[in-house]
């Protein structure tokens, strides 16, 4: 099943329309990202963010192969962000170990919701897998942005060993 038919099937099952667009999460410049935001399908979808009831996001660790953002940046950008305390990303939102969302210098190059926009969503479901993401998931839990987390067995076992704090109320 192709991507567009998958979205269509999901929309039919949920009895709600599906809105999506194909674009990179990080563009080469802020001007390129601004131009993409002007595209009708992208501007329409972004305009619908305040109406989102449930968001499904991914948690990545700040390491190769575990974060889309990490893998898309240059080595110098990765190093600077690690030095600034980045340990995780939640669908493009960079997070430090204490759970504080950080505003990276390249934020204007990104096509993803901000931490403030995600905070307005009534229910945010996060997905993560692999024991190597335990620290990232613990930091993501500290943000207060997440309401539910779905993990695999290896990650669940590592998280219970490290005992992260409970989700904020």
CATH number of residue 127's parent domain: 3.40.50.1360
CA distance 168 to 19: 30
Please check the confidence at residue 127 and state whether its pLDDT lies above 50. yes
Question: Taking the mean position of all CA atoms in its chain, how far away is CA 27?
Answer: 16
Instruction: Give the pLDDT of residue 102.
Output: 95
CA distance 4 to 20: 9
Please check the confidence at residue 49 and state whether its pLDDT lies above 60. yes
Largest distance between two CA atoms of the chain: 47
What's the rounded mean pLDDT across residues 39-53? Answer: 91
The encoded tokens of residue 133 equal: 């993401």
Domain range for 116 is 51-162
Range with the poorest average pLDDT among 3-7, 10-14, 80-84 = 3-7
CA distance 160 to 32: 43
Please check the confidence at residue 168 and state whether its pLDDT lies above 70. no
Burial class of residue 32, CB neighbours in 10 A (0-12, 13-18, 19+): middle
- Is residue 30 in a domain? no
CA distance 128 to 126: 7
The encoded tokens of residue 81 equal: 């962000």
134 contacts 159 by C-beta, under 8 angstroms: yes
Count up the domains in the chain and report the number: 1
Sheet holding 93-96, edge to edge: 101-102, 93-96, 86-90, 54-61, 123-127, 148-150
Instruction: Give the pLDDT of residue 18.
Output: 73
- Is residue 21 in a domain? no
Position of tokens 């990232």?
136
pTM assigned to the model: 0.85
- Is residue 113 in a domain? yes
- Is residue 13 in a domain? no
pLDDT band at 1 (very low <50, low <70, confident <90, very high): very low
Please check the confidence at residue 4 and state whether its pLDDT lies above 90. no
């Amino acid at each position: 099943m192709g991507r567009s038919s998958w979205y269509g099937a999901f929309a039919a099952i949920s009895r709600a329309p599906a809105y999506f667009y194909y674009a990179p999460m990080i563009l080469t410049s802020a001007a390129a990202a601004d131009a993409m935001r002007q595209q009708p399908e992208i501007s329409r979808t972004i305009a619908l963010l305040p109406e989102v009831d449930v968001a499904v996001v991914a948690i990545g660790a700040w390491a190769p192969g575990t974060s889309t953002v990490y893998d898309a940046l240059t080595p110098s950008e990765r190093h600077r962000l690690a030095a600034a305390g980045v340990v995780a990303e939640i669908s493009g939102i960079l997070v430090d170990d204490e759970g504080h969302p950080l505003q990276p210098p390249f934020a204007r190059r990104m096509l993803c919701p901000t931490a403030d926009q995600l905070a307005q969503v009534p229910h945010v479901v996060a997905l993560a897998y692999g024991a190597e993401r335990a620290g990232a998931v613990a930091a993501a839990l500290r943000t207060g942005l997440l309401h539910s987390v779905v993990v695999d067995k290896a990650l669940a076992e590592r998280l219970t060993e490290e005992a992260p704090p409970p989700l904020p109320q």
